[in-house]
Amino acid sequence: MPSMTIQLSDFRFVAKAIPNKGHRPRELARTMPAHPLSYMELPYDPEYTLYNSRLTPEALNTASDDEMYWAVRSNVIFRNTGELPIEISGPDAETLLNTVFTRSVSKIKPGRCSYQFACYHDGGMITDGVLLRLAEERFWMAQADGDLFSWYKAHAEGLNVVISDPNVWVSQIQGPKSLELLCALLDGNLPDPFRYFDCAKVSIAGQTCWISRSGFTNELGWEVYLLPETDIAAIGNKIMSVGAEFDILLTGTPVFRARRIEAGLLNAGSDFGADTTPFEAGLGNFVDFDDRDFIGRKALEVANKSSRTWGMRVTGGIAQLGRVMKVSKTIVGRVCSSGYSPYQDCGVCIVRMDDPSMGPGTKVKVLCADGSTQQGELCTLPMYDEERLIPRGKRIAIPNRPITAE
């Protein structure tokens, strides 16, 4: 019998793909839905985790974490995600979304996207995502991990609105060569305009799909929304076959871990949650105190408007997650996300401090993954490219070496 002294924290638990053909039915086993293009990942010893109850690749042996990082910074990558688009449609769709989200939906025109999040009545955050306005009365909310479907349903009483799961799956094509690849993939011309946070219906490999100028890397890129009534494999196979001419790399979640930390792109569930207000998460600019009575407004009006969320660079190590930061032997906050940036050649983190007065420039001692204690220094987010010129295509310098070497 295993020793009771085994620490579960010393292990990570993943889902693996196991051949099932010819096996007896298992009526008590719950099938976890896999992305329709997951067959691409199977030759690369994938490890999956759950995201929106969908399987998403946490690890692939196509490349090392650092190689994936450089691929998205300097070339182009392909990643299948667990994002969950929920459709909200009908004459009162805009009314419902203006009630649920802290940011006005009325300003979004068809063919445009918007970053949105929802809060509980006490101002705590539920989850976030990218809202696509497909038509005047039709939206998709491509949400991060969490449950918004039930939240929409709970607040739709008396409204002429339909809330449904369209069974749409999302893949990301990111990196400096991503738009060049898109032009080579499309059956027709590139939509004009196709600006940052635009969305459009297009055809790839003779199959209809939606695309948006968005992603989770803060690099130039786009996402493809794969429809259930189409030949999804035809789209995926064409992306990889044409992408081979661009040296495209199939990746898992490590491709964006350090990159999205550097960019200050927060992860629902780790960087914010029900115990975090948008102001504490540094997202106060996405709360519109206009003439709408959105859920959580009263609590947010009286909430402390100070941010407690910052970036942190760690010299000589990669920080552990959790309450591992100290100043003079006193724990002062939580490391919410952590990774290693090959570009900055240091550990990078998103942290949430107990005291909002501890901001950029604050130095802490932080426990690292190798058991050592190293110095960390808080910084602003994003850590660079503050105006987000890279994903807008307005900054095209392509790094290929650590910033410390420049």
- What is the average pLDDT value for the chain, to the nearest integer? 94
pLDDT above 90 (res 401) = no
Please give the model's pTM, rounded to 2 decimal places: 0.95
Q: Is the pLDDT higher at 46 or at 5? A: 46
Instruction: Judge whether 275 and 124 are in contact, CB under 8 Å.
Output: yes
Flag whether 401 is in a domain: no
Regarding whether 297 and 314 lie in a shared domain, the answer is: no
Cα(72)–Cα(82) distance, integer angstroms: 19
Residue range of the domain that includes 362:
308-384
Regarding whether 240 and 148 lie in a shared domain, the answer is: yes
Flag whether 220 is in a domain: yes
Instruction: Judge whether 37 and 171 are in contact, CB under 8 Å.
Output: yes
Average pLDDT estimate for 166-195: 97
Residue 27's pLDDT band (boundaries 50, 70, 90)? low
Flag whether 96 is in a domain: yes
Nearest 5°: CA angle at 196, between 193 and 198? 55
Regarding whether 226 and 77 lie in a shared domain, the answer is: yes
Regarding whether 79 and 46 lie in a shared domain, the answer is: yes
Per-residue model confidence (pLDDT) at position 288: 97
Per-residue model confidence (pLDDT) at position 29: 63
Query: What's the number of domains the chain is made of?
Result: 2
Name the domain boundary from 306, 323, 342.
Answer: 306
pLDDT above 50 (res 405) = no
CATH number for the domain spanning 334: value is 2.40.30.110
Regarding whether 152 and 181 lie in a shared domain, the answer is: yes
Average pLDDT estimate for 12-36: 82
Regarding whether 284 and 161 lie in a shared domain, the answer is: yes
Average pLDDT estimate for 217-224: 96
Q: Write the secondary structure of the chain as one string of H (helix), E (strand) and C (coil).
A: CCCCCCCHHHCCCCECCCCCCCCCCCCCCCCCCECCCHHHCHHHCCEEEEECCEEEEEECCCCCHHHHHHHHHHCCEEEECCCEEEEEECCCHHHHHHHHECCCCCCCCCCEEEEEEEECCCCCEEEEEEEEEEECCEEEEEECCCCCHHHHHHCCCCCCCEEECCCCEEEEEECCCHHHHHHHHECCCCCCCCCCCEEEEEEECCEEEEEECCCCCCCCEEEEEECCCCCHHHHHHHHHHHHHHHCCEECCCHHHHHHHHHHCCCCECCCECCCCCCCCCCCHHHCCCCCCCCCCHHHHHHCCCCCCEEEEEECCCCECCEEEEEECCEEEEEEEEEEEECCCCEEEEEEEECCCCCCCCCEEEEEECCCCEEEEEEECCCCCCCCCCCCCCCCCCCCCCCHHHC
Flag whether 63 is in a domain: yes
Per-residue model confidence (pLDDT) at position 255: 84
Regarding whether 224 and 213 lie in a shared domain, the answer is: yes
**pLDDT > 90 fraction of the chain, expressed in percent and rounded:** 88
Regarding whether 368 and 319 lie in a shared domain, the answer is: yes
The 10s digit of each residue's pLDDT in 354-397 is: 999 999 999 999 999 999 999 999 999 999 999 999 999 999 87
Q: Which amino acid is at 301?
A: E
The 10s digit of each residue's pLDDT in 86-144 is: 999 999 999 999 999 999 999 999 999 999 999 999 999 999 999 999 999 999 999 99
Regarding whether 146 and 66 lie in a shared domain, the answer is: yes
Average pLDDT estimate for 175-180: 97
Regarding whether 330 and 237 lie in a shared domain, the answer is: no
Regarding whether 236 and 318 lie in a shared domain, the answer is: no
CB count in 10 Å sphere of residue 347: 25
Regarding whether 182 and 105 lie in a shared domain, the answer is: yes
Residue 275's pLDDT band (boundaries 50, 70, 90)? very high
Flag whether 391 is in a domain: no
Flag whether 369 is in a domain: yes
Residue 1's pLDDT band (boundaries 50, 70, 90)? low
8 φ/ψ angles, rounded to the nearest 5 degrees: -60, -25
Average pLDDT estimate for 148-165: 98
Cα(354)–Cα(331) distance, integer angstroms: 9
Per-residue model confidence (pLDDT) at position 3: 59
Per-residue model confidence (pLDDT) at position 22: 83
| Maximum C-alpha span of the chain | 65
Per-residue model confidence (pLDDT) at position 392: 95
The 10s digit of each residue's pLDDT in 282-325 is: 999 999 999 999 999 999 999 999 999 999 999 999 999 999 99
Residue 406's pLDDT band (boundaries 50, 70, 90)? very low
Average pLDDT estimate for 63-73: 95
